[in-house]
């Protein structure tokens, strides 16, 4: 059965927090994996990082690391020094991921989050080639460290290079690295894909991490009108033999650094803060029941 995870920022208004407590809290609710941003954890003293790693290990929590990439580390930038900066940064992140006992480094690690396009973009092949050229320098580190380098395909308002599974597949296949994989996210897919289960099937064995949420980033299972094709999604995950982590990435709280970065301009949180935990537990149950139903359907 796949591990069920959560992005730590579900509970956060600011990115920095007591990360060890985040892991303990997630474990107490029944999660088996946590997605973290990298920057604040990489800035911790080494003993604190070791304590986080050991706490997660002791609780059976798998960690994944996703940088909130900014324009200063854009490996697709036309500016060579920015690209080189990004290459060195992502290499350090990959090494750090391995040092933390994790094998998942994921996100918009082929360019930058919310990278702006200068001028008019009629053709993105040059930007893609700059990104690939940078990645060729990073991937040997991922291969040496035994880390999956998972490119997250995201919606058009957050990035311009990889918006569909098809684009992600073409990119991954052009580089021929055993450690280069994809991260799909149902929130982004609901904006860009014509057929979400079909996209998962085409990605197949290239899928190494998976984010789940409703079309407005509520917790999976909280959609009221059935717009997210959950049954089809879980059937597709079963059909491609996906055994990786399924991480919910809900963002429902307005305010703070997180609300601003994620563009949560209204409060989707229903009830007091304690309700966040109850809702998360319900959502774990929903995902488990979807997994079980997909398995049962094969019998």
> What residue spans of the chain are helical by DSSP H?
19-29, 39-42, 46-59, 80-99, 125-145, 165-175, 186-192, 196-203, 230-239, 256-262, 274-296
Instruction: Give the interface segment with Mn ion, choosing from 36-44, 140-148, 182-190, 289-297 (CB under 5 A).
Output: 182-190
Cβ-based nearer residue to Mn ion, 113 or 130: 113
Instruction: Return the number of the residue (130 or 211) whose C-beta is nearest Mn ion.
Output: 211
Closest approach of Mn ion to the CB of residue 79, in Å: 27
- Pick from 185, 192, 193, 214: which binds Mn ion (CB under 5 A)? 185
End-to-end CA, the chain: 16
Just list the catalytic residues: 152, 249
Nearer to Mn ion, 86 or 250 (CB): 250
| Minimum gap (Å) between residue 235 Cβ and Mn ion | 21
Q: Write each residue from 137 to 176 as x if it is in contact with Mn ion (CB under 5 A), else as -, in one continuous string.
A: ----------------------------------------
Find, among 194, 186, 149, 166, the residue nearest to 286 by Cα: 186
Report how far residue 142's alpha carbon sits from residue 112's, in angstroms, rounded to the nearest whole number.
Answer: 19
Task: Provide, rounded to whole angstroms, the least separation between the CB of residue 91 and Mn ion.
Answer: 22
Q: Near Mn ion by CB under 5 A, which window of 38-46, 92-100, 139-147, 247-255?
A: 247-255
Nearer to Mn ion (CB atom), residue 32 or residue 249: 249
- Alpha-carbon span 111 to 78, nearest angstrom: 11
| Cβ pair 33, 247 in contact under 8 A | yes
- Nearest partner of 141 among 209, 88, 214, judged by Cα: 88
Alpha-carbon separation of residue 184 from 77, 137, 236 (angstroms): 23, 24, 13
Rounded least distance, CB 247 to Mn ion, Å:
8
- Based on the shown chain and the rule CB under 5 A, indicate whether residue 211 belongs to the binding site for Mn ion: yes
Say if CB 7 and CB 249 are below 8 A apart.
yes
Which parts of this chain interact with Mn ion (CB under 5 A)? Answer: 185, 211, 249
């Amino acid at each position: 059965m796949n591990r069920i995870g959560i992005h730590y920022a579900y509970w956060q208004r600011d990115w920095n927090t007591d990360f060890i407590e985040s892991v303990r809290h997630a474990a107490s609710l029944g999660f088996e994996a946590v997605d973290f941003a990298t920057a604040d954890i990489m800035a911790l003293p080494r003993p604190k990082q070791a304590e986080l790693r050991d706490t997660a290990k002791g609780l059976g929590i798998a960690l994944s690391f996703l940088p909130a990439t900014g324009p200063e580390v854009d490996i697709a930038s036309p500016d060579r020094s920015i690209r080189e900066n990004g290459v060195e940064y992502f290499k350090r992140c990959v090494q750090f991921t391995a040092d933390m006992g994790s094998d998942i480094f994921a996100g918009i690690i082929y360019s930058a989050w919310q990278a702006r396009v200068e001028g008019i973009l009629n053709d993105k092949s040059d930007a893609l080639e700059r990104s690939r050229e940078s990645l060729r320098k990073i991937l040997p580190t991922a291969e040496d460290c035994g880390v999956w380098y998972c490119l997250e395909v995201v919606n058009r308002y957050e990035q311009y290079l990889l918006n569909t599974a098809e684009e992600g597949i073409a990119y991954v296949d052009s580089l021929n690295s055993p450690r280069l994989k994809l991260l799909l996210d149902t929130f982004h897919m609901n904006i860009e894909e014509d057929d979400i289960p079909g996209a998962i099937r085409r990605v197949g064995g290239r899928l190494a991490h998976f984010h789940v949420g409703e079309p407005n980033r509520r917790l999976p299972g909280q959609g009221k009108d059935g717009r997210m094709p959950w049954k089809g999604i879980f059937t597709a995950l079963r059909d491609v033999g996906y055994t990786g982590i399924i991480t919910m990435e809900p963002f429902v709280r307005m305010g703070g650094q997180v609300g601003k970065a994620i563009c949560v301009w209204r409060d989707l949180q229903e009830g007091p803060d304690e309700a966040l935990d109850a809702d998360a537990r319900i959502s774990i149950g929903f995902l488990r029941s979807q997994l079980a139903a997909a398995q049962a359907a094969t019998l």
